[in-house]
Amino acid sequence: MTRPDPPRDQPEAPANPGRTLHPWDEIPPALLKPAHAYAAQRDWPGYFAAVAGKGPRETLIEALRLWGDRPPGFAVDLAAGEGRDAAELVRRGWRVLAIDGHPQAIARMAARVDVPDWSRLRTVQAMMEDAPLPECDLLNASFALPFCLPHRFAELWERIVSAVRPGGWFCGQLFGDRDTWAALPDRSHQTREQAMEMLARFDIAQFNEEDKDGADAHHHPKHWHVYHVVARKR
Ligand SMILES: C[S@@+](CC[C@H](N)C(=O)[O-])C[C@H]1O[C@@H](n2cnc3c(N)ncnc32)[C@H](O)[C@@H]1O
């Protein structure tokens, strides 16, 4: 893609009446809820506003550490959101295809100021259930896969496994059956055994199971049951 808009660097609209106003400029930061409260409702503009400015996910950082000194490859960032991981990959010299279903995710990626080489980042607005997944050296799916429609999940996972080249990496999260959101009919969650079975064609470098209650100052309780995965395809 080519970058459509200059970065947002003007603080006051009246000082620059010609600037582009993005939808996310209208969410007052003081009113933001925690990110998961938006994700629970699939309120993606709210989610993007809540996570704006956050750094890359730890599972991606670990996969990149394990990639080592080899030249950067080609990565797919599935349900990339506002691009926190895609930007990190590009900064480290990777070529990236970032896929997300929401138009604001794509617009926010285009507005990022921390992508040093736009020739290495391509963004595509598409649903993960339908998006073609090209062969890649790394497939990153950070907090993404539970949002796949359950009846499409098995087929999506099969396409993910096929897309990762032998010796390439999968990193991201799978969500467990004890997570609060597992009760929602449009979510895809797995038991630990199912998750392990899904990873049968991988050597697992990290499988950190998080199983804990969360609550915050805004009183949005959530039980987290998440597998943080970094795995290398055989
Ligand atoms: C919880 S956010 C995670 C975003 C990003 N990967 C991160 O780590 O912050 C989930 C993302 O999935 C996207 N999404 C949800 N359902 C989707 C679908 N069926 N196909 C493609 N993207 C989807 C949303 O637009 C959102 O950007």
Pairing of strands 202-214, 222-233: antiparallel
The stretches of the chain forming alpha helices (DSSP H) are 35-40, 44-51, 58-67, 84-91, 103-110, 150-163, 192-198
Residue 13 pLDDT > 60: no
Residues 29-45 have a mean pLDDT of: 87
DSSP reduced 3-state for 119: helix
Q: Which residue, 39, 83, 31, is CA-closest to 224? A: 39
**What domains can you pick out in the chain, each with its CATH number?**
56-233 (3.40.50.150)
- pLDDT at residue number 45: 93
CA 69 to centroid of ligand 1, rounded, Å: 30
Tell me the residue type at 55: G
Q: Which residue, 165, 48, 169, is CA-closest to 112? A: 48
* Minimum-distance ligand 1 atom for the alpha carbon of 104: 25
- What is the per-residue pLDDT across 160-181, written as a single tens digit (0 to 9) for each? 999 999 999 999 999 999 999 9
Q: Which residues partner with 171 through β-bridges? A: 140, 230
> What residue owns the CA closest to ligand 1's atom 4?
81
- What is the per-residue pLDDT across 74-132, written as a single tens digit (0 to 9) for each? 999 999 999 999 999 999 999 999 999 999 999 999 999 999 999 999 999 999 999 99
Residue 1 pLDDT > 80: no
- Distance CA(220)–CA(214), nearest Å, equals 8
CA 109 to centroid of ligand 1, rounded, Å: 13
CA 146 to centroid of ligand 1, rounded, Å: 9
- Distance CA(75)–CA(146), nearest Å, equals 20
Best residue among 102, 140, 171 to mutate for probing ligand 1, ranked by most atoms within 8 Å of CB: 102
Residue 4 pLDDT > 60: no
Q: Which residue, 82, 36, 84, 88, is CA-closest to 225? A: 36
Q: Which residue, 42, 30, 38, 84, is CA-closest to 61? A: 84
Pocket of ligand 1 (CB under 6 A): 39, 44, 47, 51, 57, 79-81, 84, 100-102, 105, 127-129, 142-144, 147-148
Question: What does pLDDT average to over the chain?
Answer: 90
Q: Which residue, 198, 200, 63, 204, is CA-closest to 136? A: 63
Best residue among 33, 41, 139, 143 to mutate for probing ligand 1, ranked by most atoms within 8 Å of CB: 143
